[in-house]
Amino acid sequence: MTPRTTELPQPRRPGSYRVALVCLGNICRSPMAHVVLEERLADAGLADRVEVTSSGTGDWHVGNPMDRRAAATLAAAGYDPTRHRARQWGGNDDADLVLAMDLANLADIGGRSDRVMLFRDFDPLEPGSEVPDPYYGGDSGFEEVLAMVERTASALVAALGESAT
Ligand code: 4NP
């Protein structure tokens, strides 16, 4: 079993679970997490029971595809980045779990609650850390984000498979 320290909130509706991923622009971090998490869910046979969305607190990139560096990093690792279009966070209507990429994103959506936490609260290596914004940095930042996202998504899927649906 994958170790973790954070418990998942219970589903609002038994048998289905909604996860909302939030960053600033919705073109780098939360889209990378979105694509990887959906892939892991499909591998685990949970794709029809867990719905993933992503959004950004800012509106600058709404409707745009992923940042080309984020897309290239995903594609090089075998994921499909092409379907993403950026959306703006509009408040948590009915997600079971809202996961912010960093503390500024978390503050911008109203802070922690029983259903709102940091994505990396589920990171088995460094729980409670932020996913750093790679937008103004070089390509290595995107590789680092992918590594964090991959191991955290695996832990999250293990938790979802055990208790959330
Ligand atoms: P993200 O990265 O929040 O991981 O999508 C950013 C994308 C765009 C901007 C900032 C961060 N921006 O300022 O446009």
The per-residue pLDDT for range 68-79, each reduced to its tens digit, is 999 999 999 999
| Domain assignment of residue 12, yes or no | no
- In a domain, residue 3? The reply is no
Count structural domains, the chain: 1
60 lines ligand 1 (CB under 6 A): yes
Tell me the CA–centroid distance for residue 52 and ligand 1, in Å: 20
Residue 4 domain-assigned?
Answer: no
- Greater model confidence, 120 or 6: 120
Atom of ligand 1 at shortest range from CA of 23: 3
Any domain includes 82: yes
Residues 6+ apart with CB under 8 A from 10: 96, 164
Protein residue closest via CA to atom 7 of ligand 1 = 25
- Give the range of the structural domain holding residue 73, as residue numbers without chain letter: 17-163
- Please report, for the domain that includes residue 124, its CATH number: 3.40.50.2300
What is the pLDDT of the chain when averaged over all its residues? 95
Q: What are phi and psi of 118, to 5 degrees?
A: -85, 140
- Residue-level pLDDT at 164: 59
Segment 131-138 shows an average pLDDT of 96
* Model pLDDT, residue 107: 98
Cβ of 24 closer than 6 Å to ligand 1, yes or no, is yes
Buried b (16+ CB within 10 A) or exposed e, 83-107: ebebbebeebeebbbbbbbbeebbe
Residues 161/44, Cβ–Cβ less than 8 Å = yes
* Sequence letter at residue 1: M
